[in-house]
Amino acid sequence: MAIYVLPTGVNHRTAAFAYRGGSPTERWESVLNAVLVRHPKGDLLIDAGLGKTIDSQLKRMPFTFRLATALAPGRTAAEQLEAAGYDLSRLRFILLTHAHWDHVSGAPDLAGIPVLVTAPERRFISEGGWLTVSARDIEPSRLREYAFEGGRYLGFEHSHDFYGDGSVVAVPAPGHTPGSVIVFVNLREKRYAFVGDLVWQRQALVERAERPWFVKRQLDLDPVALQGSLLRMNAVAMRFPEIQIVPSHDPRGYDGIPERPAR
């Protein structure tokens, strides 16, 4: 097994936007990535980053949101995989941490690859308005639901083991969206927790700091559920400091993860 980060762009922000107490003068580069997990039984992508139609997708979002979005797109995940000579027949599925635009935009570029979501997140795609406009560009037949039929995992009551060997395990972490998940990836030499948008910076998890009120009001659908998910993941981080916490948009979360698979 191995993992690789596929950087697809950056959204220029300040730390004040990222978490409560963040400095308005501290520059924060909100990275927009996909992560390739290579596995003997077939590979997966955690999220899909920005896609080739991101410009047209943004035009369907509110003007005020676009005004506050300083986006610098890079190469899409599909383009990076092709440039690396990656065999797409190895890609078994795309696993979403949640269905917001900056996590799913690149999924339509990878035609035919199943996109795995929880049942609440699939409903959210249909009913989420502008927040899930990019997700609705995915062909409905590609969306595949999975359930949390597994038992307790690191303090979370339910889990789903994708390969049956403990290497990639998801747990429910609702709040930011109804069906948000945390994805644990366990390599022989290293463990990772891809927490999606549970927090936007690792400091926020350690300090149990929620997003600023003006961000929560617009983007966090259930603040009470989000706080519960945040507290559970904080407990995991305190108990298992060897697990590398990877918030989707924190560049420091990806320290040590190589870019793109070799040919």
Average pLDDT, the chain: 90
How far apart (Å, rounded) are the C-alpha atoms in residues 197 and 131? 14
In a domain, 259, yes or no: no
Q: How many domains does the chain have?
A: 1
Residue 141 lies in a domain: yes
The predicted pLDDT at position 217 comes to 60
Name the pLDDT band for 30 (thresholds 50, 70, 90): confident
| 155 assigned to some structural domain | yes
pLDDT at residue number 192: 99
Kindly state whether residue 209 falls inside one of the protein's structural domains. yes
74: left (phi over 0), alpha (psi -120 to 50) or beta: beta
Residue 23's pLDDT band (cuts 50, 70, 90)? low
- Taking the C-alpha atoms of residue 74 and residue 127, their distance in angstroms, rounded to an integer, is 29
Task: Give mean pLDDT, residues 5-24.
Answer: 75
Q: What is the pLDDT of residue 33?
A: 98
With cut-offs at 50, 70 and 90, classify the pLDDT of residue 214: low
CB of 55 within 8 A of CB of 45?
no
Q: Would you say residue 15 has pLDDT above 80? A: no
Give the domain extent around 209. 2-254
Residue 211: inside a domain: yes
Q: What is the CATH number of the domain that holds 27?
A: 3.60.15.10
pLDDT of residue 226: 92
Question: Sorting pLDDT into bands at 50, 70 and 90, what band is 253?
Answer: very high
Give the separation between CA 261 and CA 242, rounded to whole angstroms. Answer: 24
**Residues 136-150, mean pLDDT to the nearest whole number:** 97
The per-residue pLDDT for range 159-193, each reduced to its tens digit, is 999 999 999 999 999 999 999 999 999 999 999 99
Across the range 207-222, mean pLDDT stands at 63
Q: Percent helix, strand, coil in the chain (nearest 5)?
A: 30, 30, 40
Q: What is the radius of gyration, based on Cα positions, of the chain?
A: 17
DSSP for 212-244 reads PHHHHHHH-S-HHHHHHHHHHHHHHHHH-TTEE
Q: Does the pLDDT at position 96 exceed 70?
A: yes
Does 260 reside within a domain? no
The pLDDT tens digits for 231-251 are 999 999 999 999 999 999 999
Q: What is the pLDDT of residue 260?
A: 73
pLDDT over threshold 60, residue 212: no
Lowest mean pLDDT among 14-28, 222-236, 245-259: 14-28
**pLDDT digits over 31-72, tens only?**
999 999 999 999 999 999 999 999 999 899 888 778 777 788
